[in-house]
Amino acid sequence: MIGSAVDLEITDVAFGGEFVARHEAELVFVRGTILGEKVRARITHKRKRGYLATVEEILRPSPARIEHPWPLGSVAQTGAANYGHIELTAQRAMKAHMLRRELKLAGLTSGLGGASPEMFTVDPVPEADPAAPGWRYRTRIWVDKLATGVGMYVPNLGKHVPLTEIPLASRRLEALQVCGNAWDALATTTEPFHVQLVAPSASPPLLLANGQAFSAPGQPAAPVVREVVEFQGEKFWYELAADGFWQVHEYAPALLVASVFDAVSVTPGDTLVDLYSGAGLFSQVAAELVGPAGKVRAYEGNELATRAARKNLAAYPWAEAYALTLDAQTIAEIVPGADIVIADPPRAGLGAQAATELARSSATQIVLVSCDARSMARDVTAILQAGRQLTYAHALDIFPNTHFVETVCAFV
């Protein structure tokens, strides 16, 4: 079967930017297609479950198919924009299909904890650049420095391709002029190396390379950025390491703060625990909401992020940040006494055991923020199977033109 070209009907949306078909009763996962299409694809690999295939010809295109605006980002090349061949509204429909499929595969049945996979739809977010819908939104992006300019590695070609533009990158990053030869003095070797471009909301853009930060070619800068997030008419200020974690979409921090605190009812005097708190995005807002009569305890595994959180919480003596490796055991130890728990784990999620421990805690409200459909489905199902009720499910399209989607779920 491997090496064969087969005609396939695309019947579902899988995880990781893949789509589902069947051939001779075998599952086939296909990239670069759209739900409802008929394609001719070549089977390339055997998997533990099914086969992987690449599209060679679109036999019946979807009405949602468009010409990819950035061919280098397509599945056939880097895959950096692996949904770019799909119209934006249809992208969100595909992501909703993916979320529902992952929830069903994880064992979520309609009625469990008042939930149903059909509750999950994907909402659009404001455009970072209205002139380029779905593009120009990333304030953090990684590219490879070449002898001249920057590029991206194309696996099918086995080499780097120079970039003349980075359509996913925020317009504010254009000030760094990385696609020309302005930064070539950094390339002291012929081997490509990673550089990060950062466009903070409240400080100048930076290029990070070889452990240093630069505001312009030959101009070193402090490796620190400032961010500002507005919530309910108030501005919250954050300072963190330039290479520290921060949401990559221009508007994601404010959108997620609004969604999280819409999902729960916070009252003055509450005790709130923030798991995987990073630089304190949610913790600072929570500290304002619970007031001096309340408490906020923020826990984060990264020491540098924890230091940033302490600084960002300095105006709130009732809020503290701790560096701690989080797992099922530590979560069970630190959550008691909390009225509300917010968990925003990395892509791997909480894990079923940790999610179960969290669900069994005495917290009256739990919020789970997830950037990965598969780990979200596992964690949500574990929380519901432990007896919680789903009260809020919100999916945000903060990664347009890719298969990624952010979800906010709340439980009582």
The strands making up 390-396's β-sheet, listed across from edge to edge, are 122-123, 390-396, 406-411, 365-370, 340-343, 271-275, 295-300, 319-323
pLDDT tier, 208 (very low <50, low <70, confident <90, very high otherwise): very high
Residue with tokens 């934006």: 88
pLDDT tier, 42 (very low <50, low <70, confident <90, very high otherwise): very high
Kindly list the domain boundaries of the chain, sorted by start residue: 4-65, 92-128+250-411, 140-227
Is 17 within 8 Å of 78 (Cβ atoms)?
no
- Nearest Cα to Cα of residue 93 among 54, 124, 130: 124
User: Could you give the 3-state DSSP secondary structure of residue 249?
Assistant: strand
CA dist 315 and 385 (Å) reads 39
pLDDT tens track for 258-306: 999 999 999 999 999 999 999 999 999 999 999 999 999 999 999 999 9
List all residues 6 or more positions away from 68 whose beta carbon is below 8 Å from its beta carbon. 74, 81, 84, 85
From the number of C-beta atoms within 10 Å of its C-beta (0-12, 13-18, 19+), residue 277 rates as buried
- Nearest Cα to Cα of residue 214 among 227, 228, 190, 198: 198
Q: What is the pLDDT of residue 207?
A: 99
State the catalytic residues: 371
Give the whole-number percent of the chain exceeding pLDDT 70. 100
Q: What is the pLDDT of residue 189?
A: 83
What is the identity of the amino acid at 206? Answer: L
CATH number attached to the domain at 92-128+250-411: 3.40.50.150
pLDDT tens track for 53-88: 999 999 999 999 999 999 999 999 999 999 999 999
Which pair of structure tokens corresponds to residue 13?
A: 């949306």
Is 321 within 8 Å of 277 (Cβ atoms)?
yes
Helix pair angle (373-385, 352-359), 10° resolution: 40
Distance of CA 388 to the CA centre of its chain: 25
Q: Which of 32-36, 48-52, 135-139, 329-333 shows the lowest mean pLDDT across its residues?
A: 48-52
Q: What is the pLDDT of residue 1?
A: 81
Helix pair angle (303-312, 281-290), 10° resolution: 30
CA dihedral for 15, 342, 124, 104, sign (positive or negative): positive
Look at residue 156 and tell me whether its pLDDT is greater than 90: no
What is the identity of the amino acid at 9? Answer: E
- Residue 300 assigned ligand-binding role: yes
**Quick one: CATH architecture of 4-65?**
Beta Barrel (2.40)
Q: What angle do CA 358, 313, 316 make, to 5 degrees?
A: 100
Cβ neighbours, 10 Å, residue 165: 10
Residue with tokens 């199902």: 381
pLDDT tens track for 84-121: 999 999 999 999 999 999 999 999 999 999 999 999 99
Q: What is the pLDDT of residue 403?
A: 98
CA dihedral for 311, 137, 216, 153, sign (positive or negative): positive
Is 112 within 8 Å of 377 (Cβ atoms)?
no
Q: How many residues does the chain have?
A: 412
CA dist 229 and 240 (Å) reads 14
From the number of C-beta atoms within 10 Å of its C-beta (0-12, 13-18, 19+), residue 346 rates as middle
Q: What is the pLDDT of residue 188?
A: 87
Which pair of structure tokens corresponds to residue 346?
A: 């990395």
CA dist 396 and 80 (Å) reads 19
CA dist 265 and 281 (Å) reads 18
